[in-house]
């Protein structure tokens, strides 16, 4: 072999080695502040969210403009938490690897699996030097902030709204313990009750009571069909949009657990909040 042939072989081997090195190392943009965006999907187009964590599956569906938990039970979702989950679509990373060996990134058994419609995200381990998390999507692995995994609920109940009524659910009439309470003026939010309740229950007091129902958040959410079956009817609420929600309640030493007929979770209110919800005179 001539000297020139040997030199050509050395140069070829050097080029091949450099190409392999560049392929196996993170890809960096030429600009120092440039980043890779993990997805170009618009969060507003997502219709179904599926989460698999610790072997437990959670499914959320968008119905109209609202999100609902559909499995393992039906309930309204906390919209702020859903928005945080969808933030993964806007995640950026300075480093991107080809997904050639899932074990290298602790992705052979992902900590969290997330489906946004048909897009699949797998959350792996933490990088030892940066404390960022490996996130796999579309045959690439990105290093992202671990907050995207923190925002994903550990259990299905964690993403259920603790609010007894949604902000969009505007009440106009209550049938409560056999009494009728109706909104007289939408502008001033004035309410009146039938005469059997008592004349001293003023419009201002009734307005505060209705607002309490509309704004109350449970201290705990409960999935217990035995308690639901033991609960007794307490209220029938007519909404501004024509919808009707029936409520039942079970009172025990822990407080009052309120159930909606259109959901499969219960809302626990300890005293004195439960006394205010279930008694007009609780404000006095």
pLDDT at 230 over 50: yes
pLDDT, tens digit, 9 for 90 and up, residues 92-108: 998 888 888 777 787 88
Please indicate whether residue 6 or residue 54 has the higher confidence score (pLDDT): 54
What CA–CA distance (Å, rounded) separates 108 from 1?
Answer: 47
pLDDT at 16 over 50: no
Please indicate whether residue 175 or residue 104 has the higher confidence score (pLDDT): 175
Q: Would you say 75 and 83 are in contact if contact means Cβ atoms under 8 Å apart?
A: no
Please indicate whether residue 40 or residue 259 has the higher confidence score (pLDDT): 259
Model pLDDT, residue 15: 36
Paired tokens of 243: 């919808």
Nearest to 210 by CA among 172, 266, 163: 172
Q: Would you say 73 and 80 are in contact if contact means Cβ atoms under 8 Å apart?
A: no
Q: Would you say 61 and 67 are in contact if contact means Cβ atoms under 8 Å apart?
A: yes
**In percent, how much of the chain has pLDDT > 70?**
85
Q: What is the pTM of this model?
A: 0.81
Give me the helices (H) in 135-202, please: 147-150
Q: Would you say 212 and 272 are in contact if contact means Cβ atoms under 8 Å apart?
A: no
What CA–CA distance (Å, rounded) separates 105 from 261?
Answer: 45
Would you call 128 helix, strand, or coil by DSSP? Answer: coil
Paired tokens of 20: 């392999």
pLDDT at 194 over 90: no
pLDDT at 273 over 90: no
pLDDT bucket at 155, cuts 50 / 70 / 90? very high
Q: Would you say 113 and 121 are in contact if contact means Cβ atoms under 8 Å apart?
A: yes
pLDDT, tens digit, 9 for 90 and up, residues 63-94: 999 999 999 999 999 999 999 999 999 999 98
Cβ neighbours, 10 Å, residue 114: 22
């Amino acid at each position: 072999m001539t000297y020139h042939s040997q030199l050509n072989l050395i140069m070829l081997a050097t080029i091949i080695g450099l190409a392999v090195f560049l392929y196996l190392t993170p890809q960096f943009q030429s600009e120092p502040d440039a980043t890779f965006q993990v997805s170009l999907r618009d969060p507003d187009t997502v219709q179904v969210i599926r989460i698999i964590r610790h072997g437990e599956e959670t499914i959320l569906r968008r119905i109209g403009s609202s999100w609902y938990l559909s499995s393992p039970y039906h309930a309204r979702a906390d919209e702020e938490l859903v928005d945080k989950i969808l933030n993964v679509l806007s995640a950026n990373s300075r480093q991107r690897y080809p997904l050639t060996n899932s074990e290298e990134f602790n992705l052979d058994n992902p900590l969290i699996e997330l489906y946004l419609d048909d897009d699949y995200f797998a959350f792996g381990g933490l990088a030892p030097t940066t404390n960022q998390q490996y996130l796999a999507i579309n045959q690439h692995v990105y290093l992202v902030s671990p907050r995207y995994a923190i925002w994903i609920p550990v259990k299905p109940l964690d993403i259920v709204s603790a609010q007894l009524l949604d902000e969009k659910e505007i009440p106009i009439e209550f049938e409560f313990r056999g009494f009728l309470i109706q909104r007289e003026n939408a502008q001033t939010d004035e309410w009146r009750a039938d005469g059997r309740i008592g004349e001293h229950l003023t419009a201002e007091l009734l307005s505060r009571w209705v607002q309490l129902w509309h704004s109350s958040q449970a201290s705990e959410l409960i999935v217990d069909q035995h308690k639901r079956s033991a609960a007794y009817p307490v209220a029938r609420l007519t909404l501004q949009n024509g919808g009707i929600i029936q409520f039942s309640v079970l009172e025990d030493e822990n407080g009052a657990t309120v159930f909606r007929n259109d959901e499969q979770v219960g809302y626990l209110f300890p005293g004195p909040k439960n006394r205010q919800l279930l008694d007009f005179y609780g404000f006095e």
